[in-house]
Amino acid sequence: MTKSLLMLLCLSGISCGKSVKVTVVGEDGSAVEGATVVVWSIGSNKSKDQKFEGRTSNKGFATVEARDDARRLHIYIEKKGYYKNSYRHKDGTAISAKNKSIINVKAVLRKKIKPLPLFVREYRVYPPVNRQKLGFDFEVGDFVAPHGKGKTTDVFFKVISEHQDSFHYNYELNITFPHEKDGIQHFVFSRDDIVSELKSSHLAPETGYKIQFQRKSSSKGRKSKTNAVRFRNHWMRVRTKTDEKGNIISANYVKIYGDFPDIVYYFNPTPNDRNLEFDPSGNLSKNLENKHRKFAP
């Protein structure tokens, strides 16, 4: 069916499908004009999937017509100079369209401000020695000597692990730091975070760091306990130097996607630079386990 014929049918009062009304704003809440909105209409038969497009007005608004029989919608929103938003099924963020004629979506686009080369690495925190506090170097990506090739202790990891089998175990990870004003704090992904290419703030927080953190999980038979939090992530302040009055004069900052022990960390080697907006083309880490892994900003 041609677009002109479809429009004539619409004007005649015949159903034209589902109306997807998308409002796009920046992080400050202002309208984003000229953003491309792509809607994939997913029906019961994948061969009938169809693509529809629109563009936001000066009020940040776009209406895109999708298939009338669509069960869910995959929506992609992008504009040059901004990070793309992807409401797609594999993230659990596809838009449900079943039994709906009008679907309203509000999306936040984050600006690309100053992406930087950073030390980025996927890591599973399991120290080689049980019940012993060991230093870890984010720049090198390893424990400090004699347990690894690390040179500078950014953080201490201590694991207390007892493992009998899959149903009987106790795991405790204690995280502490070598300097008084070092520390850690967490943040939890919101829906806007999950769909955005950049899933965090551009800058690490200036305050709010705590000197320790503990991650626990255990199982006795089929009864398990954990203090894990879904979508929890972390910021760290490390290598902190202070003056005689305790004021911070120098520090480095780390962004951590994921909850311990399985994490992806982003380390900025420049002192006092809280920017952790990563340029994926500039990973400073060497000898990565997966050389072809593309890390998110």
Threshold 0.85, pTM exceeds: yes
Domains identified in the chain and CATH numbers: 3-109 (2.60.40.1120), 116-283 (no CATH)
pLDDT (tens digit per residue) in 201-218: 999 999 999 999 999 999
Percentage of the chain with pLDDT > 90?
69
pLDDT (tens digit per residue) in 229-267: 999 999 999 999 999 999 999 999 999 999 999 999 999
- Which positions ≥6 away from 4 have C-beta within 8 Å? none
CA 101 to CA 103: how far, in whole Å?
A: 7
State the CB neighbour count (10 A cutoff) for residue 100: 14
HSE toward the beta carbon, residue 294, CA cutoff 13 A: 4
CA 27 to CA 6: how far, in whole Å?
A: 36
114 burial class (0-12, 13-18, 19+ CB within 10 angstroms)? exposed
pLDDT (tens digit per residue) in 136-185: 999 999 999 999 999 999 999 999 988 888 888 898 999 999 999 999 99
SS3 category, 91: helix
- Strands 18-26 and 102-109, by their bridges, are parallel
Angle, vertex CA 161, rays to CA 156 and CA 167, nearest 5: 145
Please say whether the beta carbons of 280 and 140 come within 8 A. Answer: no
Task: Give the pLDDT score at 287.
Answer: 83
Task: Give the pLDDT score at 92.
Answer: 62
pLDDT (tens digit per residue) in 74-107: 999 999 999 999 998 765 678 888 888 898 999 9
pLDDT (tens digit per residue) in 118-140: 999 999 998 889 999 999 999 99
